[in-house]
Chain A
């Protein structure tokens, strides 16, 4: 299934490293999202982009920096992360932004991030 693809699948980085997560959707959707999933916690929304414009920043620390060059691509740039940032980072897309009454999210397979 190639609807929403994320790379890399796994990432190990030190606290001083800079890395980027990439997401690409092939569904022609207009909205893209970054979610964080930590162990024993619900999915947490981080950022929302609608037609390339950021519409939501859910109080995310500045060490996470999103970039959306076009409606099909979304990046999450990481720098000076902390061990507590270790989690599964999921990209998702939807036809419209999650504001219509029956919006469905399509998720990528995620990047499992470990910060040492």
Chain B
């Protein structure tokens, strides 16, 4: 099983749609979780951290289910500018330091 697994997509949705991305991770001891966004030919940028209680930032909602080792990202009222690849990132500890493990990403394309 891959350390961080995501549906690669692409997800093609119309403007205004609600879309959800899923991510599973293999290490039950993983400590922290993040969603990064990467535009085409650009660098990844942090979108939001994912907290155990779930968190919301405007149109974006992130959820964590530790029992199922599952993270989700929900985007409501999709905008054209949301088109990007969304990377699920997990922080694992090994020895005295942590390692950020990236998923391959899920590509989203929002159409007019």
Question: How many positions in chain A have a CB within 8 Å of any CB in the partner chain?
Answer: 24
Within 8 A of A (CB), among B53-112: 87, 91, 93, 96-105
Least Cβ distance of B97 to chain A in Å?
A: 4
- Asked if A87 lies at the interface with its beta carbon under 8 angstroms from chain B, I say no
Find B102's partner among A43, A56, A99 (CB 8 Å cutoff). Answer: A43
For the complex, would chain A's binding face be called helix, strand, loop or mixed by DSSP majority? loop
Query: Does A70 sit at the interface, judged by CB under 8 A?
Result: no
Closest to A35 in B: B102
Q: Which of A40, A56, A99 has the most CB of B within 10 A?
A: A99
**Could you show 9 A-B contacts with beta carbons less than 8 Å apart?**
A42-B4, A42-B102, A43-B44, A43-B102, A56-B97, A97-B98, A99-B97, A103-B91, A105-B36
Q: Output the nearest chain B residue to A110 by Cβ-Cβ distance.
A: B43
Number of B interface residues at 8 Å Cβ cutoff, please give it. Answer: 25
> Assuming A42-B4, A43-B44, is B97 touching A98 (CB within 8 A)?
yes
B44 to chain A, nearest CB (A): 5
Min CB–CB distance A87 → chain B (angstroms): 13
B49 x A102 contact (CB < 8 A): yes
Q: Which B residues are CB-close (under 8 A) to A106?
A: 46
Q: Is A55 part of the binding interface, using a Cβ–Cβ cutoff of 8 Å? A: yes
B99 touches A45 (CB 8 A): yes
Question: Does A59 interact with chain B (Cβ within 8 Å)?
Answer: no
Contact with B along A36-49 (1 / 0, CB 8 A): 00001111010010
B2 smallest CB distance to A (angstroms): 8
The reply to whether the CB of A107 lies closer than 8 angstroms to some CB of chain B is: yes
Complex Cα spacing A88 to B42, Å: 10
